Amino acid sequence: MGNNNILEAKNINKYFREPVMFHVLKDINFRIKSGEFVSIMGKSGCGKSTLLYILSTMDTDYGGELFFDGEKLTGKPHEELAQIRNQRIGFVFQFHYLLSEFTVLENVMLPAKKLGLKSPEEIQHDAMEKLKLLHIEEQANKLASRISGGQKQRVAIARALINDPAIIMGDEPTGNLDSHNANNVLRIFRDLVEEKKLSLLVVTHDSDFAANTDRIIEMGDGHIIKQ
C-alpha cells in the first residue's frame, strides 16, 4: 500500500445485535489520501456516524480491516488504539463538548495534557498558537460558557488540532451553526487542508458544505453508493 493513503477501509461490515440482528454497514471499501478533504453524506440512519466511530478506532466490534497511514489497526489492543487516537486523530462534533467551568485556553490544552508528551508550558504555548490560527486568541482567558456558539466551535477545532493530528474527523461539525458560522468552519477546514496538509473526513447533512470538499462519499442503507 502506498504511503499517501492516510486511511483505508477494507470490507468493513458491522452488525448491531440488539434488539435484533441488523446489518448496519455492508462491505465498506474506500481510501482517503493524505491532504484530502472528504465528506460523507446520506440519509439519517444509513450508517454514517457508525462508520465514523469505526474509522476513529472508538468502535472495534466490526468485520474487515482498517489501515491508518499504512499500519493495520484492526486487532490492536485498546490501549494502543487510544494512544493512536489521542495523538493522530482530532475530533470535531456537532456539539462542541467544551467544559464550561474551564477557560478557552484550558479546554484547548486538555487533549495534550492527557497525552502527556510535553511540559505544561509547551502545551500552553501550543494552545495559544492554535487559538491564533483560528483568530480567537483574545478569548483565551474567558470561561468557555461565556463565548458565542460560533466561537465555541472554533475553540473545539483548536482543541482538535492541539496534538497536531494527521486527520481530523468531524460528525456534523456545522450542524448547530447558522450559515455564517458554518461558512467560517468550512473556510477554516479548507485552510487547514491547504496550509497544514491535514486530511479531513466529515460526516454532514449540509450539501453546500459537502460541495466545497474534494470528494463526497455517498452512503445509503449501509452501502457506499458513490465515491
Say how far apart CA 115 and CA 133 lie, in whole Å. Answer: 22
Domain ranges in the chain are 5-226
Render pLDDT for 109-149 as a digit per residue (tens, 0 to 9): 998 988 888 999 999 999 999 998 888 899 899 999 899 88
CATH number of the 5-226 domain: 3.40.50.300
Render pLDDT for 150-184 as a digit per residue (tens, 0 to 9): 888 889 989 999 988 999 999 888 887 888 888 88
Mean pLDDT, residues 197-215: 91
Render pLDDT for 51-76 as a digit per residue (tens, 0 to 9): 998 999 989 999 999 999 989 999 99
pLDDT band per the 50, 70, 90 thresholds, residue 3: low
